[in-house]
Chains A and B, each alone.
Chain A
Amino acid sequence: MTTHTAIAELRAVRRRRQVLVVAGMVLVVLVAGTGALLVGAAGLTPGQAIAGVLGLGDKGDVFIIQKLRLPRIEAAVVIGAAFGMAGALFQSTLRNPLASPDILGISGGASLGAVTGLLALGLSGVALSGLAFAGAGAVALAIWLLAWRKGLHSIRFVLVGVGFAYLCASLVAWAMARAEENEAAGVLIWTVGSVSDIRGDQLALVASGTLVLLVAVALVARTQGPLALGDDNARALGVHVDLARIGALLLAVALVALATSAAGPIAFVALVAPAIARRLVNDGGAALAASTATGAAMTLVADVVGQHALLGIAAPVGIVTGLVGAPYLLWLLATTEKRSR
């Protein structure tokens, strides 16, 4: 009986650690979010900010909080959460820590869709976002068709995706090279990503869509444990492997397409947030919840840093996530204890 309780205790310790990581990331979101509410061209006191959130007090303050600052914070959190979850799903379903929408070309598909819409069709707003969504979906489908051989083979999926990533990047660069100077700036935002202009109906759409998808992921998340043991082991444990994998990848693609259609391809979040989350949780699991929270925290912090030039760079969030995310990933990898395989 002593070992029985010991096993239960081990499980409780692991579980507490997961909760702790998620709680820590939520705390980061709260702190960074509060900071972002208070700081800006118009300085507000905490009292004015709270009144603004509640829709009370000075009309100007309410406008600044509700129309400018709060939507940007919400957008960063929602987009970051979507990228974090999508990355974790890709990586655990394909059993490859490099599998992320940037590297698989799915973000690239969204950029290509948006850039085409912008330059060739002169679209803007929701129509443009729709085309970005379609671009991401089209690349995912194309990878699918080329990678499917009587079942889905992870490494083939990743390699085909890398091919599409280069193809999309080349086409976007070509379009930019041909574009007029004044158009190129608008195109640029679709290659680095930004959360500064997502508000109103678009924000509501992205937020509710992301929420629905996250709930759907929670419903299928249980198959990730057996799937991580390999196809044969998962089948022997009673998982319908192809269905489970298709379902997980569809949800991940939908999350990326939705987030990218609104914010552009924010570099590195989907790749790095799950790596950080898994390292912090450190139980060998997919760390889906922790990755979601980490993605949200990472994106919000990067946006605050970029918006207020805290590191001396005023830049869209996608540039900051790349500048900060890459070194952090390298540091994590360098300090992870060496393990025998």
Chain B
Amino acid sequence: MTNLRAESVSLGYDGLRVIEGLDLTLPDGKITAVVGPNACGKSTLLRGLARLHPLDGGKVTLDGTDITAMPRKELARRVGMLPQSSVAPDGVRVAELVARGRYPHQGWFGRHSSDDDAVVTAALESTGVADLADRPVAELSGGQRQRVWIAMVLAQQTDIVLLDEPTTFLDVRHQLDLLDLLTELNRNQGTTVAMVLHELNLAARYADHLVVMSAGRIVAEGAPSAVLTREVVGEAFGLTAQVVPDPVTGTPLVVPVGRYHSK
């Protein structure tokens, strides 16, 4: 049982408060999606959970322990995080990039062991990029590249994986591929996944737990079918929308109403 929890957390940039006194517990072994309008603080929240951004108040705990009291490497062995739009260094190859995910598991003079090779191989295979192992990352397509970054986070072998907009810049098919991959990770290995997503309907389909944010606070959270109502969409996004059942999955499907093009 590993529980990542934010307790009355406040976060901001240079005195500008983005999030004030927010509480959130990521359900263990589930997929959580965080949605909300631009600048609502969802990325900042994720960064705070992973200790990428200092807290102005409150604390983030892992199994009850304040994460700032943990050695950084120990935290990195338990919580993985893929930041938004990572850029690989020039010339670095796929296997080498993925192997850098092993850093928190290696000692001061750590060399790669055959255990590391096995973990890297498993990460390459489960993300479907094993054939690309010797290719420079810069030569890959956007979808392949994002898989490689996820493979790096998998090589970190954490119980909890946080992802900041992992589907940005991907076309619809690659978005589905990637979310299916995360679902497999969750189902096969019991990994707790939490991600910031822009696409409401995919979030509703893939998440067990949906968190809707607006202006630095949580508007609603829970099962997507309970949370994603026209009232919540209206409050969080300032958007008039109809919410109908997704014909494929039965999860909520948000159909926005704009100012033009109505029947």
Task: Name A's B-contacting residues (CB within 8 A).
Answer: 3-4, 6-8, 10-11, 14, 95, 150, 219, 222, 225-226, 228-230, 232-233, 235-240, 278, 282-285, 339-341
Bound complex: CA A284 to CA B110 (Å): 19
Residue of B47, B80, B93, B136 touching A232 (CB-CB under 8 A): B47
Contacts A282-B91, A339-B138, A340-B139: A238 and B96 contacting too (C-beta < 8 A)?
Answer: no
Residue of A4, A226, A229 touching B88 (CB-CB under 8 A): A229
A239 / chain B contacts, CB cutoff of 8 Å:
72, 103
Residue of A3, A226, A238 touching B130 (CB-CB under 8 A): A3
Bound complex: CA A237 to CA B14 (Å): 25
Tell me if A284 and B117 are in contact (CB < 8 A): no
- 8 residue pairs A–B, Cβ–Cβ below 8 Å: A3-B130, A4-B121, A6-B133, A10-B133, A222-B103, A233-B86, A236-B50, A284-B89
A230 / chain B contacts, CB cutoff of 8 Å:
83, 86-87
**B169-205 vs A, Cβ < 8 Å mask (1 yes, 0 no):** 0000000000000000000000000000000000000
Residue of B14, B75, B83 touching A233 (CB-CB under 8 A): B83
Residue of A10, A150, A339, A341 touching B134 (CB-CB under 8 A): A10
Tell me if A229 and B100 are in contact (CB < 8 A): yes
Tell me if B83 and A341 are in contact (CB < 8 A): no
B76 at the interface (CB under 8 A from A): yes
Contacts A3-B121, A4-B121, A229-B86: A238 and B104 contacting too (C-beta < 8 A)?
Answer: yes
A339 / chain B contacts, CB cutoff of 8 Å:
90, 136, 138-139
Residue of B52, B103, B117 touching A8 (CB-CB under 8 A): B117
Bound complex: CA A232 to CA B86 (Å): 9
B95 / chain A contacts, CB cutoff of 8 Å:
7, 10-11
Q: In this complex, which of B80, B104, B117, B125 has the most chain A Cβ atoms within 10 angstroms of its Cβ?
A: B117
Residue of A95, A225, A278 touching B100 (CB-CB under 8 A): A225
Bound complex: CA A185 to CA B96 (Å): 50
Residue of B72, B100, B156 touching A240 (CB-CB under 8 A): B72
B220 at the interface (CB under 8 A from A): no
Tell me if B138 and A226 are in contact (CB < 8 A): no
B101 / chain A contacts, CB cutoff of 8 Å:
237
Bound complex: CA A229 to CA B155 (Å): 15
Bound complex: CA A218 to CA B121 (Å): 28
Tell me if A222 and B96 are in contact (CB < 8 A): no
Residue of B75, B76, B92 touching A284 (CB-CB under 8 A): B92
Residue of A7, A11, A222, A228 touching B106 (CB-CB under 8 A): A222
> A59: shortest Cβ distance to chain B, in Å?
47
